[in-house]
Amino acid sequence: MAAVLTLATASALLKLMFIPAYRSTDFEVHRNWLAITHSLPVSKWYVEDTSEWTLDYPPLFAWFEWILSQVAAFVDPGMLQVTNLNYASDATVMFQRVSVILTDFVYYYAIKEFQELAIFNTNKQSGATYSAHLIPILLIFNFGLFIVDHIHFQYNGILFGIMLLSIVRILQERTIEGAFWFSVLLNMKHIFMYIAPAYFVYLLRTYCFNRKKPVSLFTFSKTHFVNLASIVLMVFGISFGPFIYHHQIGQVLSRLFPFKRGLVHAYWAPNMWALYNGLDKLFTIVGLKFGCLHPHTIPKASMTGGMVQEFSHMVMPSIAPLVTMILSACAMVPALVLLWDLKSPLAFVRAIVLCAFSSFLFGWHVHEKAILMIIIPMTLLVKYSQEDAKLFLILSTTGFASLFPLLFTPFENIIKVLLLLQATIFAFLSLKDFYGKGSKSSSMSSRSVLGSTLGSSSLALSLREFHLPLLNILESIYLWGLVGLNIFNSGFPTWLLGLDIMSRLPFLPLMLTSVYCAVGVIYCWLYFYFLLCLDAESSDKQQKSDRCSYGGSDSSKSSSLQKKTR
């Protein structure tokens, strides 16, 4: 697997280039956490509040910062003082940036392990140039992870590395290790709770119960269950034990779950609530126009700004945290039920993606960065079927574009556009290459449909130029719309027309981006659900035919593990 190592080295080197790039406040957040964990006893970690950026990740992440701080002490002790707010010497910047780059190697290791597993490949022998290393390339040069970690500044690389590692271990049937890594992950960043239901259901069904037999009390393995439970409890015990001992568990939890924040983040993540808020705005404007609403009942800021922390709805009913939880759970349940039935590795990965989707779309105070939690596991499936590849293309392009507002300084503004273009062109070219002729037929059919409906061949021809590989014409138009949206958001067209919409409505670009991207994300979610249902259907058929031909013995596992072609 020298190839993965080469790719990893190249990517680590390229990331070094971005050391002087713009850093968000998250840089100071993590510096502060280095200082807290280094200079204070454990009992003070979750009490300390000199800086406004208090420690709000679970304890194992704090220990991770503690380990880093041991090295940092040799680099520049100045960054380890709690009172040294906004300290950013050259050595500090270098240390923190390099620490992200080096901890990314956990992610690379997980990718190497996945690559060796050689799962979810189609049977098709593709003549494409880079098909063997397609998934490692897409994962290692993930645009979103790059700008969030190496420009904006966070440690998602190591976290997604542990996530992938836990998935790979479970797929390798080293279940205990997989559970261990997932528990560690939960104790490093609790946002991964979103995908915990998929793990729970899958492990319960395939590990605690016998995968090959129907569920009953006799097939329940107590030793497996105890093993699993003890490893999970052990990790949680090590993590939270000291705080229980210090009677701080309430304090820790209040830091971890700050429900005082609003339904949406300052910049709306592209989810259901973005659409909901957008609709609310629309109704407000329409209401004002037709006199159903009175201007003086509306707070001034909400019309001009509209992106304040607590967004208050004008027309639509306000949403309580409980509602978001219930909706997320409802969205997850069908996926989990199907996972229980299918119990295949494929369904496991699909369920992870769907759980992440549900909580991203309906969750309370979702950050736009959480889209990576959907895109990264989805990447694992691009070689499984053409539909998966297509959804990956749509979702990654849309999701990455929705990360654009994270960067707004001049150099980074250009870089983000250039890098996203490269990532997208590469993904489209390589996947088109991989699925080869398959895309031709679909484009042919849509072309003829267009030709007949529009009646004019020249228009159809010019439309064909915009037809993206693997996608149908509507999906292509949607993605091209992203280009238009960003051109509009740059303020150039309105400047040409002499309108100053941008200075009057500074948040309009952000709102448009999140609403537009929300449409694409929701489309992908529905389509992805449809794929899981297809799997269920085909596995039903498979089981029936297996039963006919082999007398219905242990074939369900092997058939589901089999690489399928569609």
**Sign of the torsion formed by the C-alpha atoms of 339, 341, 343 and 347:** negative
- Which of 303, 419, 463, 505 touches another protein by CB under 8 A? 419
With binding defined as CB under 8 A, does residue 21 bind another protein? Answer: yes
Give the shortest CB-113-to-another protein separation in angstroms: 23
- Which of 2, 418, 497, 526 touches another protein by CB under 8 A? 418
Torsion angle of C-alpha atoms 223, 227, 230, 235, degrees rounded to 10? -170
Cα Rg, the chain, nearest whole Å: 25
With binding defined as CB under 8 A, does residue 18 bind another protein? Answer: yes
With binding defined as CB under 8 A, does residue 10 bind another protein? Answer: yes
With binding defined as CB under 8 A, does residue 1 bind another protein? Answer: no
Q: Which of 346, 331, 327, 279 is nearest to 526 (CA)?
A: 331
Q: Which is nearer to another protein, 214 or 410 (CB)?
A: 410
Segment interacting with another protein (CB under 8 A) among 56-64, 260-268, 418-426, 479-487: 418-426
Segment interacting with another protein (CB under 8 A) among 7-15, 25-33, 80-88, 398-406: 7-15
With binding defined as CB under 8 A, does residue 444 bind another protein? Answer: no
Segment interacting with another protein (CB under 8 A) among 6-14, 175-183, 264-272, 470-478: 6-14
- Find out whether 451 and 458 touch, Cβ atoms under 8 Å: no
- Which of 245, 408, 411, 550 touches another protein by CB under 8 A? 411
Give the H/E segment covering residue 151: none
Q: Which is nearer to another protein, 408 or 411 (CB)?
A: 411
With binding defined as CB under 8 A, does residue 414 bind another protein? Answer: yes
- Find out whether 252 and 59 touch, Cβ atoms under 8 Å: yes
66 CB contacts (<8 Å, ≥6 apart)? Answer: 37, 38
Q: Which is nearer to another protein, 82 or 128 (CB)?
A: 128
DSSP 53-93: S---S-HHHHHHHHHHHHHHHHH-GGGG-TT-TT---HHHH
The CB-based long-range contact list for 182-186 (8 Å cut-off, 24+ gap) reads: 183/231, 183/232, 183/235, 183/236, 184/60, 184/235, 185/159, 186/58
Q: Which is nearer to another protein, 411 or 495 (CB)?
A: 411
Neighbours of 140 (CB within 10 A): 20
Torsion angle of C-alpha atoms 149, 177, 123, 422, degrees rounded to 10? 0
With binding defined as CB under 8 A, does residue 17 bind another protein? Answer: yes
Question: Which residues, numbered 120-149, are part of the site for another protein (CB under 8 A)?
Answer: 127-129
Q: Which is nearer to another protein, 9 or 86 (CB)?
A: 9
With binding defined as CB under 8 A, does residue 480 bind another protein? Answer: no
Give the shortest CB-96-to-another protein separation in angstroms: 15
Give the shortest CB-126-to-another protein separation in angstroms: 10
- Find out whether 380 and 347 touch, Cβ atoms under 8 Å: no
Here's the x/- map for another protein, 169-188, by CB under 8 A: it reads as: --------------------
With binding defined as CB under 8 A, does residue 332 bind another protein? Answer: no
- Which of 230, 422, 457, 545 touches another protein by CB under 8 A? 422
Q: Which is nearer to another protein, 17 or 526 (CB)?
A: 17
Here's the x/- map for another protein, 364-403, by CB under 8 A: it reads as: ----------------------------------------
Question: Which residues, numbered 49-108, are part of the site for another protein (CB under 8 A)?
Answer: none
- Find out whether 12 and 104 touch, Cβ atoms under 8 Å: yes
Residue found by looking up tokens 């297809």 in the block: 534
Torsion angle of C-alpha atoms 156, 157, 158, 164, degrees rounded to 10? 100
User: For residue 294, with 0-12 CB atoms within 10 Å meaning exposed, 13-18 middle and 19 or more buried, which class applies?
Assistant: exposed
Phi-psi region of 244 (alpha: psi -120 to 50; beta: other; left: phi over 0): alpha
Footprint on this chain of another protein (rule: CB under 8 A): 6, 9-10, 13-14, 16-21, 127-129, 410-411, 414-415, 418-419, 421-422, 425-426, 429, 433
